[in-house]
A and B are shown apart, each in its own frame.
Chain A
Amino acid sequence: MHQKNQIPDPPPATADGGGGDGNGAELDNVVKMVSENPVMVIGTRGCCMCHVVQKLLQGLGVNPPVYEVDEVDEAAVAAELSRKVVGGGGDDGGRVQFPAVFVGGKLFGGLERLMATHISGELVPILKDAGALWL
């Protein structure tokens, strides 16, 4: 199980979710990617916060795939993820907000949680446990 390893600096590994009308195949693809990658970022296309999430993780030596969702598909993708990935015990009360970080196939949180756990020193061990980082 390997994430797509690319050169740390641009361009990042992006998976293009554009053009889809939230059809079944696209959504299945997203869910599949989440479960297959130790770390994954899903965000709205052009969102600057998503950019921040990506840069932060890259700065730590993690190069997660970033799945960009068109604004029109946002609600559909969020709903699908809430159902299939988060289940009933989601951290954010079930509703997925973008940008969203998935670690070890589970919803980890948004930028705020990412930064808070990094400051408290908890993030790196979590990433290592998930196999996203090696010593």
Chain B
Amino acid sequence: MSVYDPIHQISMWGEGFKSNGNLSASVPLIDEPDMKLDSQSEDASHGILGEPNKYDQEANKPTDKIQRRLAQNREAARKSRLRKKAYVQQLESSRLKLMQLEQELERARQQGMYIGGGLDSNHLGFAGSVNSGITTFETEYGHWVNEQNRQITELRSALNAHIGDMELRILVDGMMSHYAEIFRMKSAAAKADVFYVMSGMWKTTAERFFLWIGGFRPSELLKVLGPLIEPLTEQQRLDIYTLGQSCQQAEDALSQGMDKLRQLLADSVAAGQFMEGTYIPQMTSAMENLEALVSFVNQADHLRQGTLQQMSRILTIRQAARCLLALGEYFQRLRALSSLWSNRPREPA
């Protein structure tokens, strides 16, 4: 039996540690009642080796057999204690490692990194098969966030280092392309599971609080970012204000269309039926409505992308860089908010 055999050792010690101490039953090798393996195990070594008189008194004529058995018992007990000590040490170091990992995880979460495979990774389709389109999206999203964080850090350093406009433009273009990438990914994911995208399942709970048709609401974002990119010229302020108004109008129109679709979808689910003798539902018109829902996700994303592009037209390259940095950091903080809340120190219940 090796030292690193915790399961076996647990059962051995588990029985040995029972306070009612039926030691003779559970630890058959030991027949001396005062050689207990439980809490006194630290002192046991003294108990056995430090009292040789006991054995002299008890056995006037010890036979070889008994002597041998006693020696074996002592040996077994000693080995057992050593194993226990090793096991406890192993537990201690595992515990330390676990604490370290938890801290790392926390740090990473607060920096907005994407951890793990989403909340309830229940991407089972109706027949119980895994939705590969969604699992692909989730994997890619993890990479997307990591790359996003890297770009944000790079942009921050670049702005602090006062690099030239040409280099700055490269970083800005890179970030814009990166946003284009997430919209492409979402479009593919919407075809795989439109409700998944509409509900923002890949996002942190804090991000989902602000969700509008599967993503951020452009007009809200402009209100948040506006003050962060000052100083602006009068013309720029006017242009941004106009952009915000246009976004609001487009959003309202989309929202109204969504309300209508929601009603149609509810009605078509209500009108659906089950196939004769099975539990498989027939919902052709509901399925058609889901096609429309995919269009809504796409149109909302086009609006988001269009807003970003218009901002980059209104702003100078340096302002655009600051704007993108502010945008990125805003979402990093938002992503961290969920875990900050859930990890806050609380009064024990």
A1 to B167, CA, bound (A): 54
- Report A109-134 CB contacts with B as 1/0, cut-off 8 Å: 00110011011110000000000000
A120 to B312, CA, bound (A): 11
Of B249, B261, B302, B310, the residue contacting A56 (CB under 8 A) is B249
Known: A46-B264, A48-B292, A49-B295. A119 touches B246 (CB 8 A): yes
Of A48, A56, A60, A120, the residue contacting B306 (CB under 8 A) is A120
Most chain B CB inside 10 Å of its own CB: which residue of A51, A52, A118: A52
Q: Do the beta carbons of A56 and B253 come within 8 Å of each other?
A: yes
Report 19 cross-chain contacts, Cβ distance below 8 Å, ordered by A residue: A48-B257, A49-B299, A51-B256, A51-B260, A52-B253, A52-B257, A55-B252, A56-B249, A59-B253, A60-B249, A112-B302, A116-B302, A118-B249, A118-B250, A119-B243, A119-B306, A121-B239, A121-B246, A121-B310
Q: How far is the CB of B285 from chain A (nearest CB, A)?
A: 10
User: Which chain A positions have C-beta within 8 A of B249?
Assistant: 56, 59-60, 118
Nearest A residue to B254, CB-CB: A52
Known: A118-B249, A118-B250, A119-B306. A111 touches B243 (CB 8 A): no
A134 to B21, CA, bound (A): 97
**Which residues of A in the span 59-118 have a Cβ within 8 Å of any Cβ on B?**
59-60, 111-112, 115-116, 118
Nearest B residue to A71, CB-CB: B288
Extra inter-chain contacts (8) besides given A47-B292, A48-B260, A59-B252, CB under 8 Å: A46-B264, A48-B296, A52-B299, A55-B252, A111-B299, A112-B302, A119-B250, A119-B306
Tell me whether chain B's interface is mostly helix, strand or loop, or mixed: helix
Q: Do the beta carbons of A120 and B256 come within 8 Å of each other?
A: no
User: Which chain B positions have C-beta within 8 A of A119?
Assistant: 243, 246-247, 250, 303, 306-307, 310
Number of interface residues of B (CB under 8 A): 26
Q: How far is the CB of B40 from chain A (nearest CB, A)?
A: 78
Nearest A residue to B292, CB-CB: A48
User: Which chain A positions have C-beta within 8 A of B307?
Assistant: 119
Tell me whether chain A's interface is mostly helix, strand or loop, or mixed: helix
Nearest B residue to A112, CB-CB: B302
Top 8 A-B pairs ranked by shortest CB distance?
A52-B257, A56-B253, A55-B253, A48-B261, A119-B306, A48-B257, A55-B256, A59-B249
User: Which chain B positions have C-beta within 8 A of A115?
Assistant: 250, 299, 302-303, 306
A46 to B250, CA, bound (A): 20
User: Which chain A positions have C-beta within 8 A of B261?
Assistant: 48
Nearest A residue to B242, CB-CB: A121
A118 to B313, CA, bound (A): 14
Q: How far is the CB of B51 from chain A (nearest CB, A)?
A: 90
User: Which chain A positions have C-beta within 8 A of B295?
Assistant: 49
A59 to B256, CA, bound (A): 11
Q: How far is the CB of B301 from chain A (nearest CB, A)?
A: 10
Nearest A residue to B258, CB-CB: A48
Q: Do the beta carbons of B299 and A56 come within 8 Å of each other?
A: no
Known: A49-B292, A52-B299, A112-B302. A118 touches B260 (CB 8 A): no
Q: How far is the CB of B252 from chain A (nearest CB, A)?
A: 6
Most chain A CB inside 10 Å of its own CB: which residue of B242, B258, B295: B295
**Which residues of A in the span 19-64 have a Cβ within 8 Å of any Cβ on B?**
46-49, 51-53, 55-56, 59-60
Known: A112-B302, A116-B302, A119-B243. A48 touches B252 (CB 8 A): no
User: Which chain B positions have C-beta within 8 A of A47?
Assistant: 292
